[in-house]
Amino acid sequence: MKAPDEIRAAFAAHPRHRFIPDLVWPEPQGLPLARSADPRRWAAYVYDDDAVVTQANDGGSGMINTPSSSSSAPEMMAGMIEAAGVAPGARVLEIGTGTGWNAAVLASLVGPSGSVTSVEIEREVAEQARERLAGTGVRVIVGAVPTEGVYDAVIATCSAHRVPLEWVRHLSAEGVLVLPWAPYESGGPTPIAALSGGREGRFTGDGSFMRDRTQRVPAPRFPGMGREIERKGAVPFGAEELLERDLLTRLVLASPGIWITLGARPWQEATAPIIALEAGESWAYLWPDGSTTGGGPSDLPAELAEIHAVLDGAGWPELTEFTLEVLDDRPHRVRAAGLGPWDHHL
């Protein structure tokens, strides 16, 4: 884990397995994995470097195990804590208690002179976290964010499309809001932003986080389903190149008028990733070799190619060079190294 020594020490003081429940969901389909049934596999999953799914389908069942609560990847947690500037004596508000592991790490960092308040929307999850957090001094609240309190840092472990002003209002004058921000109402990337005063700041890294439950909307239909191909073409880059070079999130941030999502389709006697585009009645698929198919009034691949050329001409600014600005009752605004602004309508 790449993190300052004090953050590494806080993680070491709270081993992850103490906060993970007996049942976990390592696969997108099938039954959960029980610790009692296969302790070695359970431990291997828990001590992997990735997120651990601790609840699927909001506690219900389904053909697909859609994650609804999890323990975030340790390196992601450490990066968010560092971005928030958590230090001894800090007052921290956490949105999304989950297992309680992140809250325990925060409690060690703020020490006895600081405080950690953690909010969890689901009562059963909150009660389990309270048991694991006994003796840490963390206050766990069930339901909505409290109306009172001033905090030096607010850390959200769930993503938000609209940055909630109730989170911003809790910050002190020098406080920082760290949250995974979702450019789209549903799906898509959720890069992490660290906003001074909850208003403006840089993205610190990429991530994949579940949506804040108050902002969930039904997933849209995949672009082009049931539509006839009206247009074929090509662009100077393919789906595989964008994914291999990790360019997709930056394209999303610079393309507020186009919905960009991933899919898979038969390709050259196998299955390959494609990038799907949609805007209004227009849709398109970008194939691995740069060929495109689509329909509707707009040539979306050509529009994407224009945005690609702008970013390419600027040397592809790193994600950490992109900034997010939160505006009251107006679109959230993204800029990057002299480029933009790109207004993301809410």
Mean of the per-residue pLDDT values of the chain: 94
Rounded to an integer, the average pLDDT of 41-47 is 95
Rg of the chain in Å (alpha carbons): 21
Binning pLDDT at 50, 70 and 90, where does residue 68 land?
confident
306-335 pLDDT, tens digit per residue, is 999 999 999 999 999 999 999 887 899 999
Q: Which residue has the higher pLDDT, 260 or 3?
A: 260
Higher pLDDT, 133 or 68: 133
Rounded average pLDDT over 80-87: 97
pLDDT range class, residue 81, cuts 50, 70, 90: very high
Whether pLDDT at 106 is above 70: yes
Structure tokens at 148: 């009172």
Q: What is the mean pLDDT of residues 59-82?
A: 91
pLDDT at 301: 98
- Residue closest to 185 by CA, chosen among 164, 216, 224: 216
Q: Could you tell me the pTM of the whole model?
A: 0.93
Give the pLDDT score at 67: 87
Q: What is the pLDDT of residue 251?
A: 98
Tell me the mean pLDDT in the region 95-99: 95
Per-residue model confidence as pLDDT tens digits over 262-287: 999 999 889 999 999 999 999 999 99
How far is residue 250's CA from residue 296's CA, in Å, rounded to a whole number?
Answer: 25
- Could you tell me the end-to-end alpha-carbon distance of the chain, in angstroms, rounded to an integer? 35
pLDDT over 60 at 257, yes or no: yes
Whether residue 123 contacts residue 142, with contact meaning beta carbons closer than 8 Å, is answered with: yes
Residue 136 has pLDDT above 80, yes or no: yes
- Residue 269 is predicted with a pLDDT of 87
Confidence check: pLDDT of 304 > 90: yes
pLDDT band of 1, cuts 50, 70, 90: low
* Active site annotation includes 196: no
Full DSSP string of 243-294: HHTT-HHHHHHT-TTSEEEEEEEEETTEEEEEEEEEETTEEEEE-TTSEEEE
C-alpha of 31 from chain center: 25
Which one from 72, 115, 159, 255 is the annotated catalytic residue?
72
Residue 195 has pLDDT above 90, yes or no: yes
Residue 234 confidence (pLDDT) = 98
